[in-house]
A and B are shown apart, each in its own frame.
Chain A
Amino acid sequence: MMIKIKYVNLKRITILLWLSLLIVSCKKEPLVEEELPLPSFVKLAVPSNLPTAPEDPDNPLSKEGIELGRRLFYDTRLSASNRISCASCHHQELAFTDGVALNDKGESRKVLHRHSPALFNLAWANKGLFWDGGSTNLESQAFAPITSPDEMHQDLLIMESELKQIPDYVQRFKLVFQDEIKSKYVAKALAQFQRSLISANSKYDKYIRKEDNIQLSTLELQGLSLVEKKCKGCHSGELFTDYAYHNNGLDSMFSDEHEGIYQGRYRVTFNPLDLGKFKTPSLRNVALTAPYMHDGRFNTLNEVLNHYMNHVKVSVSTDQLMYQNNGEAGIPMSIQEKEAIIAFLNTLSDFDFINNKSISNPHNK
């Protein structure tokens, strides 16, 4: 075997030396020439039935930061052709999913391998993003769609220079980040906007919080107690998800094609017990977010429930909670119980959220 080395890149070696020695010894504070106005820092307004949201001290939320993120989220300048924005695949009226199983809206027009997930209550999603959790946080995640050839395929330098041509953006970045426009601030602003997308104003929430005298019907209440028994092991708590990874028995073969995309969480952990595990999606807004699952394979909630009843596939990683049928695979439900569950799931739709003008496209006015 003969190896011919063309190039080697070990630049990263310098980083630790930088940190441990340089920074300690010769930190120079830049001279502040004039005091810039500060943005108004805010805390997320979390409804009383949700847990407190973790904060990110490296990207403190501000009113102006959230608004800047909103403007960027809907701005097609983030894509190479200036044709696609984040909202091209994440539509507000569908709780920020896109209504199709697999999307071909990206720059390459290639069909993506995964279904666009809903975007809400992301402030709590701190166990990883994407269906397999490969992305660590919203601040890092944004770089993937912006640069991916099959999504927005943007060159980050071109993006910066296009944004710098808009005086309004120059001012807004200056106020929020006290600096000129840089791609890292685009990611941070997008993250702020997405953290502010809280959805907890459904009929169910109003019932739980005893607001406006809202009641659930007998059928809906029966559905609620069935969901608590059969589903909440994973779709847990008031967020209706544990943000963790489970194999709910969709498949029993996990091919390693396309950089392991069918292998789920295994692609990230390389633990064979994580084969075919995907992040539990929230049941909130689920009546609005068809089709379902990481590849959008089911068109209706009825199909989803039929899967849980009759088609759970068994493999080493199939979750224990998928064996609710006296130890056999499947979650038993009568036809009437299915109807009750679907009636309850419909009470989780948050119409205030999907109609909220303060998170809609600001460029449409």
Chain B
Amino acid sequence: MIQLSGVPVGDYKSIKFSVGVESRYNDNLSLQIGELSQLNGMTNISWMWMTSYIFTSVGGTVKSGASAPKNMLVETGLNTNYKTVTINLPTNIRISSVKDSEIVLKADVEKALDGVDVFANPIVGASKATIMAQVATNYATKVFTVASAR
């Protein structure tokens, strides 16, 4: 849960956020703002080789028919995959000092893998640029929806 305070009073019809780390910080691992760090698995040697944090990471197993399951790890990173998402709210929401407002976002992780054959490509990272771009686009266009806003 992310708590925002000091949001200016007014009627809001959409929310906008980004998935990833903006380039100023993604390009310089020594400028650590907020929770950014090389620690906590936010980046690793494979990504530091490209100077990037890991923007998204989905791990699990994938199985097709009778063949043995494979470990799956689909990650995105790199500045080109920094995506800004704008989602319209079902109804306008009024932010005021009188009450707290709450927006619940739903992330459908399977949609992140839309159009990707994860059985053929169970490990996606910096060296799989095209697939990674597809996954990042999925995050930007179809993963997030508003569950409720009040």
Contact = CB atoms under 8 A, between A and B. Distances in A.
Given A134-B49, A134-B50, A139 B107 contact: no
Contacts of B32: 184
Interface of A: 1-19, 21-22, 24-26, 58-59, 130, 134-137, 139-141, 143-144, 147-149, 156-157, 183-185, 187-188, 191, 256, 259-260, 267-268, 270
12 contacts: A3-B110, A6-B59, A8-B58, A8-B109, A14-B2, A14-B34, A19-B33, A140-B28, A143-B29, A157-B39, A184-B31, A188-B30
Contact of A139 (B17, B28, B44): B28
A26 B72 contact: no
Nearest to A258: B127
Nearest to A24: B6
Contacts of A144: 45, 48-49
Given A15-B25, A134-B51, 16 more contacts: A2-B64, A3-B62, A5-B59, A7-B58, A12-B56, A17-B4, A19-B22, A136-B28, A139-B30, A140-B30, A140-B51, A147-B45, A149-B45, A156-B39, A185-B30, A270-B130
A7 B109 CA distance: 10
A167 B86 CA distance: 50
A268 B126 CA distance: 9
B101 interface: no
Contacts of B21: 12, 15
A132 to B, nearest CB: 9
Interface in B71-103: 72, 84
B5 A25 contact: yes
For the complex, would chain A's binding face be called helix, strand, loop or mixed by DSSP majority? helix
Given A4-B63, A140-B27, A270-B129, A22 B4 contact: yes
A12 B36 CA distance: 8
Interface size class of B (residues with CB under 8 A): 35 or more
B107 A10 contact: yes
Contacts of A143: 29, 38, 48
A8 B50 CA distance: 22
Contact of B49 (A14, A21, A130, A256): A130
B4 A59 contact: no
B118 A3 contact: yes
B29 A140 contact: yes
Contact of B60 (A6, A183, A256): A6
Nearest to B6: A25
Nearest to B112: A8
Contacts of A24: 6
A2 B67 CA distance: 11
A191 B48 CA distance: 16
Contacts of A21: 4, 6-7
A15 B31 CA distance: 13
Nearest to A9: B57
A148 B48 CA distance: 9
Contact of A140 (B5, B20, B48): B48
Contacts of A268: 50
Q: Which 8 A-B residue pairings sit nearest by Cβ, starting from the closest?
A: A25-B6, A139-B30, A16-B18, A140-B29, A136-B51, A5-B60, A6-B60, A270-B129
